[in-house]
Structure 1
Amino acid sequence: MTTTKQDQNPRSLAVTALMKVQNGAYSNLQLNQLIDDNDLSPRDTGLLTTIVYGVIQHRLTLAYQLKPFIKKPQKVTDWVMVLLETALYQWQYLERVPKRAVFDETIQIAKKRGHEGIRRFVTGVLHQIDRVGIPDPATIDDPLTRLSVTYSVPTWLIETLTDQLGQAKTVSILSHINQPANQSVRVNLERGTVDAAVEQLTAEGYDVTRSQVAKAGLVLSGRPANQSALFKDGAMTIQDESAMLPAESMALTPSMRVLDACAAPGGKTVQLAEKLTVADGGEVVALDIHENKVKLIKHNAKRMGVNDRVTAVALDARKIDDQYPDDAFDQILVDAPCSGIGLVRRKPEIRYEKQLSDSQNLAKVQLSILNAVATKVAIDGIITYSTCTILNQENRDVVAAFLAAHPEFESQRVATANDLKPDRTTDYLEIYPDDYDSDGFFISQFKRVR
């Protein structure tokens, strides 16, 4: 199964992308690559993106619905199964695409990419589904299996969320995570105001909405954000609204020395650096374990015009004793490596790749990073801990373990510019995908008191 430069059919390109995602590629990176490599119209780019994300989001649902019509699945080539999934997805979820068009396009792709036998097989399956009807997950007796198939989420994750958040909140989250992710950007406040950015983006043809989550955030539609002159000039960057909150919540002064302990690709690093000035001695030390990712941090810092106050270093934060003395930093951000369950709308394949054991193992890594950097923040300094997951194992439990082991720290209430969740009874801030239609995120802060 191959595609060529001449193959500009977005449905065929979707099969190519989905096969690569099945083999380990990230959906967002694979889509960007295909879009860059092919001269697609905005309409075809939209269709390609919709099909790829849609099929991944609904993979378990589609597999359940196809199963009765595939007698010997082990004999069906992987790409043919993916092609059938794209057809079923379009048929069910894309109201503006007629069934006839879906059938015709799918059969033509089967013929072009395979052989006559594959074309006949695909034609037969589609016509049989049309005659018999698509199985409805609502008829599944077992409640857990029914939820899993309906929302295409593994049972372990549904069980975990239900145990931690209750049935109603879990179903609310499940009903949101298969909706399209917002395209959000953060304005570089060192290079302009939010008002000016709104005015320019509107003039460029974007539909612009101010973020209800983050002070410098905007939600855009109409065009890819990276096509804006503001992006190219470093006056804004692409970042989820929730991801803007950890740095926003840190009360920095221009002269502070700040550690970003798990920094790549540098979105939060540059956000922190915007609050500092070289003249006052402000600096962000940004660590990442991989040298190639350190280059990404440097690239982002340069594009956003803050590279004069960013020092990017290839170092495992757990080995920080090797290079930095105690009390070296005024504040520390630990945006810890995590399971990423809060990102399932933006990176839908995550839900199928993770197990509960992954979350439990990551919690050990997260705690070890916090333990390692604890002595590096000065007295009265603050450590901000954040993750892009919504599981207690990596959030509440890690915070409780750290505070229990470090009586020299006290929990501090997380404050945001828009005063999110003002009635919460916890110091930490939890953002779920159904709260503000942004990524799931967790933020906690600890002040060193002695």
Structure 2
Amino acid sequence: MQINETPRNLVVDMLDRVMRQHAYSNLTLNQVLSHHPLTQKDQRLLTQLFNGVLQHRLTLEYWLTPFIRGKQLVPWVNELLLSALYQMHYLDRIPDRAVFSETIEIAKRRGHAGIRRFVTGVLHAVQRQGVRPLSVIADPVKKLSITASVPQWLVQQLVAEHGFSRIERMLATINDPPVQSVRVVHPATRVRVVEALRRAGLAVTPSPITPVGLRVTGGFVPATAAFKQGLITVQDESAQLAVDALMVRPADQVLDACAAPGGKTTQIAGKLTTGRVTALDLHAHKIKLIKQNATRCGVAARVNARQLDARRAAATFTPGCFDRILVDAPCSGIGLLRRKPEIRYMKTAADSKQLHAIQGAILDAVAPTLRVGGRLVYSTCTILQQENEKTVTAFLARHPEYTLERVQTTKGIKTDRETDSLTIYPDDFMTDGFFIAALRRIK
């Protein structure tokens, strides 16, 4: 195999693409796996190495810093060294000699003699001296930040909202492999779907939190016949609960205000018979994606996908024309730390504040379009209160015609909670972090 087609070399490019071009890690991984003829063994190594360096990046940088002595590294050299450190400290079955051999060969092929000598020197120094222990970090928040590889501002924010012990427990799980989950599009086909996935070599277990969800391991779901036939769609279990909480009825007129890529739209449409779901998104290419997903899942006749900024809803739709509204709002995505580890490095506290304003504007715009007695569900895939409870509280203060109701789910998730809204943390069920609030228009 040529050096540019090896998993370790491909990962260097992938990491650079995510960290400097802000590509999505899941899309980057799928693209590389689709376009490079790797064995299953090499696919596993590439996936583990790529995700692992993203997940443990701050820890790896903490370890690497003393060995580069303030030297400004070329980006690909930095990614190459972080990848080598990850293999040396997290992949016990790979001997150091194998890591050294290919890392130095990549440095030689991609760079010049000076880079090769530098990389070789760093690797041998790490091997001789070992890395500095995390235990020497005195500040508990900084130590947790480096240990879990979550930026310090985010650790501070989460600790302020939930307490140190709670967040320490949560972040201890954040770098575990994400659970791959799917939603059965037509509940009546559940038995057939499970059998088909098992025949395809995947292990299947029921979701503990949603009746239409399955957890699957051992394969690539989009490549299965069940996915191609529209019997299942990839969707996190927590995300499936937003539509569960919406309590859609067969004849309802439903607005999905922030719909792309259409997972919740198709879930809503599957509950309708004479009703219809209007799905909005800002961008034409995302409207196309919603339509494609609706067609694949066999619900296109009940989906009306429109290119529209949800903040223009009040000026576009007749007052009181919808029975149900879902606002799965744009958010920081902090609940996705396990599934999309790069998010933690891309977001700031300022982003969360700006998103809070956008979320409020969307809620204000859709509010008049819900009929009296109708139900509005607000959801996000973040666990920051600025974008969750505070957004809902501010909306209710502006809209006395709405009241907060207790979120109910089919499987009775967290029924002993103190809040009417439902927050699922990443360590509750090893799913994505998610927030759901249910509101009713009373006048």
Same fold flag (TM > 0.5): yes
Tell me if 1:81 matches 2:78.
Answer: yes
Give the equivalent residue in structure 1 for 2:32. Answer: 34
Matched residues in 2 for 1:193 and 1:295: separation? 27
Q: 1:243 aligns with which of 239, 242, 246?
A: 239
Question: Cα–Cα, structure 1 residues 64 and 214, in superposed 2: closer, same or farther, change >3 Å?
Answer: same
Matched residues in 2 for 1:134 and 1:243: separation? 40
Q: Secondary structure at the match of 1:237?
A: strand
What displacement does 1:250 show? Answer: 1.7
What displacement does 1:422 show? Answer: 1.0
Return the letter of the residue paired with 1:108. E
Q: Contact conserved, 2:269 with 2:303, CA < 8 A, in 1?
A: yes
Matched residues in 1 for 2:151 and 2:389: separation? 22
Tell me if 1:215 matches 2:208.
Answer: no
Q: 1:394 aligns with which of 387, 398, 412?
A: 387
Q: What are the equivalent positions in structure 2 for 1:13-412 lying under 5 Å apart? A: 13-23=10-20, 24-74=22-72, 76-189=73-186, 192-277=188-273, 280=274, 282-412=275-405
Q: Contact conserved, 2:314 with 2:368, CA < 8 A, in 1?
A: no
Matched residues in 2 for 1:236 and 1:444: separation? 26
Q: Contact conserved, 1:5 with 1:38, CA < 8 A, in 2?
A: no
Q: Contact conserved, 2:145 with 2:152, CA < 8 A, in 1?
A: yes
Q: Contact conserved, 1:414 with 1:443, CA < 8 A, in 2?
A: yes
Aligned length: 442
Matched residues in 1 for 2:435 and 2:259: separation? 16
Return the letter of the residue paired with 1:119. R
Unaligned ranges ≥5, structure 2: none
Percent identity among equivalent residues? 51
Matched residues in 2 for 1:296 and 1:326: separation? 28
Matched residues in 2 for 1:403 and 1:352: separation? 32
Residue by residue, what CA displacement relative to the aligned partner does 1:294-341 show, whole Å, maximum 9, x if unpaired? 111111111111111100001011111232110010000000000000
Give the equivalent residue in structure 2 for 1:420. Answer: 413
Matched residues in 1 for 2:142 and 2:248: separation? 48
Q: Contact conserved, 2:3 with 2:9, CA < 8 A, in 1?
A: no
Matched residues in 1 for 2:406 and 2:88: separation? 48
Residue by residue, what CA displacement relative to the aligned partner does 1:214-254 show, whole Å, maximum 9, x if unpaired? 11111111111112110010000011111111012221111
Residue by residue, what CA displacement relative to the aligned partner does 1:160-205 show, whole Å, maximum 9, x if unpaired? 1111111111111211111111111111126x43232222211221
Matched residues in 2 for 1:238 and 1:38: separation? 23
Q: Secondary structure at the match of 2:292?
A: helix
Q: Secondary structure at the match of 1:7?
A: helix
Residue by residue, what CA displacement relative to the aligned partner does 1:238-289 show, whole Å, maximum 9, x if unpaired? 1111111101222111111100000011110000000012xx2x10000001
What displacement does 1:6 show? Answer: 7.6
Q: Which aligned segments of 4 or more residues in structure 1 are displaced greater than 6 angstroms?
A: none
Q: CA RMSD in A?
A: 1.3
Q: 1:444 aligns with which of 413, 421, 437?
A: 437
Q: Contact conserved, 1:344 with 1:350, CA < 8 A, in 2?
A: yes
Tell me if 1:435 matches 2:425.
Answer: no
Q: Contact conserved, 2:189 with 2:231, CA < 8 A, in 1?
A: no
Matched residues in 1 for 2:122 and 2:2: separation? 29
Tell me if 1:10 matches 2:4.
Answer: no
What displacement does 1:16 show? Answer: 0.8
Moved more, 366-375 or 197-206: 197-206
What displacement does 1:36 show? Answer: 1.2
Matched residues in 2 for 1:437 and 1:317: separation? 31
Return the letter of the residue paired with 1:56. L
What displacement does 1:60 show? Answer: 1.0
Return the letter of the residue paired with 2:113. E
Residue by residue, what CA displacement relative to the aligned partner does 1:374-415 show, whole Å, maximum 9, x if unpaired? 110111100000000000000011111111221111111111
TM-score, structure 2 normalization: 0.97
Q: Secondary structure at the match of 1:434?
A: coil
Return the letter of the residue paired with 2:93. R
Matched residues in 2 for 1:167 and 1:30: separation? 34
Q: Contact conserved, 1:138 with 1:150, CA < 8 A, in 2?
A: no
Return the letter of the residue paired with 2:422. L
Return the letter of the residue paired with 2:66. P
TM-score, structure 1 normalization: 0.96
